[in-house]
Chain A
Amino acid sequence: MPQDRTGLLIIRVWIEDGSEAPLRASVRHTRDVAAGFQYAITLTDPDATAQVVRRWLRDVLSD
């Protein structure tokens, strides 16, 4: 029986007023929730954040 291909990605966002790059996007993801989050990064750019999400989704699809 094929194993389910699932995962969890959470993006937590807040704004640091007064900063030269005020966006803070904390991205965490995992393919094995029981093992906890396997990857975590904080980014300040919306496009870079979207790229992390796209890359992760492609990884999930490619398994």
Chain B
Amino acid sequence: MLRMSPRPPQRRVVVPRSAEGAADDFHLSLLGAFELAEGAVPLVLPGGAQRLLAFLALQDRTVTRSATAGTLWPEASETHAHASLRSALSRLDASTREAIEVDVLDLRLAPGVAVDIRDARALAHRLLIVNTVPSAADLTAAAIAALSSELLPDWYDEWAIVSAEDWRQLRLHALEALAASLAEAERYADAVAAALAVIKAEPLRESAHAALIRVHLAEGNQSEALRAFDRYRALLRTELGLEPTPALFALIRDLRPQ
């Protein structure tokens, strides 16, 4: 796979810096777009610093300087990669530097920094626990929004792509589980929204359409269920020249004369 590694765009926001920058004040957003905020204030960061913070956040552990430099600057020599890492670290202002713990050999994101993808992954895993009723706190529009968000879209570094694909698979399964749980709770509008979020992410994913059809059936909307089936069937024929699986036909079998 040929790849390019473009630098992410900088945000053009100038903000006053706080006198103290405790790590607990930082919130790092990687879902939807990169943003580091101190309190409620987004910070301006050069591209190298953004990549460094995002990489450390996704590792969720201590990483050696060598591994960090080699991953973030894979086409540079070891010497140049290390120099690029030192440069990225030196360009962090005093406040932002609080977000990274650095020693001679290792780096890690400071433990107090809140990272949205970590919370979202924990939510996804909770929703995927089998034979467990999710808590009300997990059956929310905010949960749908978090699971609908891509990780660092438009970042094409290999490490970012791999993490993004891992998150994608997790969130699509979690959204389908969420749709089922919301339907069980008779929150049909939200259940439809969750199922549609999966369909939007991958229109040819049959389990997403199955999830939507099941929500309509649970609400007693047989015509909506048939319409959802017919839309998917038409799409599948147009795009791939295929029919849905027997399992999907079985969902609507009793609704339509054979």
Q: Could you tell me which A residues sit within 8 Å of B by CB distance?
A: 6-10, 12, 14, 16-21, 24, 26, 33-34, 36, 42-44, 57, 60
Contacts and interface: CB of A to CB of B under 8 A. Distances in A.
B156 interface: yes
Interface string B1-36: 111101000000000000000000000000000000
A19 B241 CA distance: 12
B151 to A, nearest CB: 14
A60 B4 CA distance: 13
A18 B247 contact: yes
Interface of B: 1-4, 6, 154, 156, 161, 165, 202, 204-206, 239-240, 242-247
Contact of A8 (B4, B205, B244): B4
B2 A6 contact: yes
A35 B239 CA distance: 25
Given A42-B240, A44-B240, A19 B6 contact: no
Given A16-B206, A18-B245, A36-B154, A9 B240 contact: no
A9 B1 CA distance: 6
Given A6-B4, A7-B4, A42 B204 contact: yes
- A-B CB proximity, top 9 nearest: A18-B245, A33-B4, A6-B4, A7-B2, A8-B3, A19-B245, A16-B206, A18-B247, A33-B6
A7 to B, nearest CB: 5
Given A16-B245, A18-B246, 6 more contacts: A19-B206, A19-B244, A20-B243, A26-B202, A33-B156, A36-B154
A44 B6 contact: no
Nearest to A20: B242
B188 to A, nearest CB: 26
Contact of B205 (A14, A33, A36, A43): A14
A1 B3 CA distance: 21
A8 to B, nearest CB: 5
B242 A10 contact: no
A21 B246 CA distance: 13
Nearest to A19: B245
A24 B4 CA distance: 25
B156 A44 contact: no
Contact of B1 (A8, A33, A44): A8
